[in-house]
């Protein structure tokens, strides 16, 4: 599992791994000359709303890029509206046509929602997630975390109030996000992917069952849990020190 590519990754024997890439970051295009001879297929899980129009930029010719951690580039995107660290449509089109490249889905919006969770399972409230909400509620004592809007029913936050999202609203959102993503894929790549990687690696049976109705057959997450339908992945950062 690879996000923004760090130069240290190339110190590993990458040929012994199947490589999957999340979000559609520019570095995944930029370093393609170093990856194109990989013995296994390269799978790029694309968050389609983050891929914007634009010309193809140059690829790697010896100069390494600065590395961005997910919290940093998500803040740039969702708070600052800066998408230059993602591939452009032309760049994604350029690599998607390669014989060893497979394109998968990583949702359209990659968005979040408030959810009540057990305190031991509460994730830190990342700054970019908090700032997705213009006016924040008082989170003290609420045991709230901010989780995947696809995988959790959660709570809408409007006019200073948290209101449980109905099950119908939740299902409709899953379908809408998926329809938007697949339409984008058809319009720009002329493809209908069958592989899906869950945003934030969060999933449940409801989400999987709905995604199956759209033709998805393979599902990936860092934490497959009890599901026999989900293939696990190892974060490449566990193999190196950054």
- The reply to whether 28 and 141 lie within a common domain is no
Q: What pLDDT shows up at residue 127? A: 83
Q: What pLDDT shows up at residue 102? A: 97
Strands laid side by side in the 20-23 sheet: 20-23, 42-46, 101-105, 195-197, 218-221, 230-232
Residue 24, pLDDT > 60, answer: yes
- The reply to whether 123 and 185 lie within a common domain is no
pLDDT tens sequence across 226-242 = 888 999 999 999 998 76
- The reply to whether 175 and 59 lie within a common domain is yes
Closest by CA position to 23, among listed 110, 128, 125: 110
Residue 101 lies inside a defined structural domain of this protein:
yes
Q: Are 40 and 19 in contact (CB under 8 A)?
A: yes
Q: What pLDDT shows up at residue 138? A: 65
How large is the average pLDDT for residues 115-127? 67
Work out the percent of the chain whose per-residue pLDDT is above 70.
Answer: 93
Question: For the chain, what is the mean pLDDT?
Answer: 92
Q: Which residue among 164, 180, 205 closes a domain?
A: 164
- The reply to whether 99 and 196 lie within a common domain is yes
Q: What pLDDT shows up at residue 122? A: 56
- The reply to whether 87 and 122 lie within a common domain is no
Residue 77, pLDDT > 60, answer: yes
How large is the average pLDDT for residues 83-111? 97
Residue 99, pLDDT > 80, answer: yes
- The reply to whether 96 and 67 lie within a common domain is yes
- The reply to whether 189 and 234 lie within a common domain is yes
Structural domain that includes position 138: 112-164
Instruction: Name the 3-class secondary structure at 98.
Output: coil
Q: What pLDDT shows up at residue 242? A: 60
Q: Which residue among 164, 183, 207 closes a domain?
A: 164
Residue 69 lies inside a defined structural domain of this protein:
yes
**Whole-angstrom Cα distance, residue 156 to residue 138?**
14
Residue 54, pLDDT > 90, answer: yes
Between 160 and 209, the more confident residue is 209
Q: Which residue among 130, 164, 198 closes a domain?
A: 164
Residue 1 lies inside a defined structural domain of this protein:
no
Q: How confident is the model at residue 76 (pLDDT cuts 50, 70, 90)?
A: very high
- The reply to whether 30 and 94 lie within a common domain is yes
- The reply to whether 72 and 14 lie within a common domain is yes
- The reply to whether 78 and 179 lie within a common domain is yes
What is the chain's alpha carbon radius of gyration, rounded to the nearest angstrom?
A: 18
pLDDT tens sequence across 179-198 = 999 999 999 999 999 999 99
- The reply to whether 214 and 98 lie within a common domain is yes
How large is the average pLDDT for residues 210-225? 94
Q: How confident is the model at residue 161 (pLDDT cuts 50, 70, 90)?
A: confident
Into how many domains does the chain fold? 2
- CATH number of the structural domain spanning residue 36: 3.20.20.370
Q: How confident is the model at residue 133 (pLDDT cuts 50, 70, 90)?
A: confident
Residue 2 lies inside a defined structural domain of this protein:
no
CA of 154: how far to CAs of 107, 132, 171, in Å? 18, 15, 12
**Whole-angstrom Cα distance, residue 25 to residue 79?**
17
Residue 83 lies inside a defined structural domain of this protein:
yes
How large is the average pLDDT for residues 30-56? 97
Residue 105, pLDDT > 80, answer: yes
- The reply to whether 35 and 152 lie within a common domain is no
């Amino acid at each position: 599992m690879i996000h923004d590519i760090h130069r240290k990754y190339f110190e590993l024997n990458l040929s012994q791994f199947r490589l999957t890439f999340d979000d559609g970051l520019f570095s995944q295009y930029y370093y393609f000359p170093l990856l194109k001879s990989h013995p296994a297929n390269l799978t790029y899980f694309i968050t389609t709303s983050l891929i914007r129009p634009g010309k193809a930029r140059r690829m790697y010719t010896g100069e390494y890029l600065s590395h961005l951690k997910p919290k940093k580039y998500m803040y740039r995107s969702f708070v600052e509206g800066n998408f230059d660290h993602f591939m452009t449509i032309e760049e994604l089109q350029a690599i998607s046509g390669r014989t060893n490249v497979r394109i998968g889905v990583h949702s359209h919006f990659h968005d979040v929602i408030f959810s009540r969770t057990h305190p031991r399972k509460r994730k830190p409230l990342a700054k970019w997630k908090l700032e997705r909400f213009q006016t924040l509620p008082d989170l003290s004592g609420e045991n709230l975390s901010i989780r995947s809007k696809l995988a959790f029913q959660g709570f809408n936050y409007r006019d200073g109030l948290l209101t449980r999202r109905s099950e119908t609203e939740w299902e409709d959102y899953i379908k809408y996000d998926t329809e938007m993503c697949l339409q984008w894929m058809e319009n720009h790549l002329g493809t209908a992917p069958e592989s899906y990687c869950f945003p934030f690696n969060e999933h449940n049976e409801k989400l999987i069952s709905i995604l199956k109705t759209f033709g998805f057959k393979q599902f990936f997450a860092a934490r497959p849990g009890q599901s026999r339908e989900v293939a696990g992945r190892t974060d490449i950062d566990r193999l190196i020190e950054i």
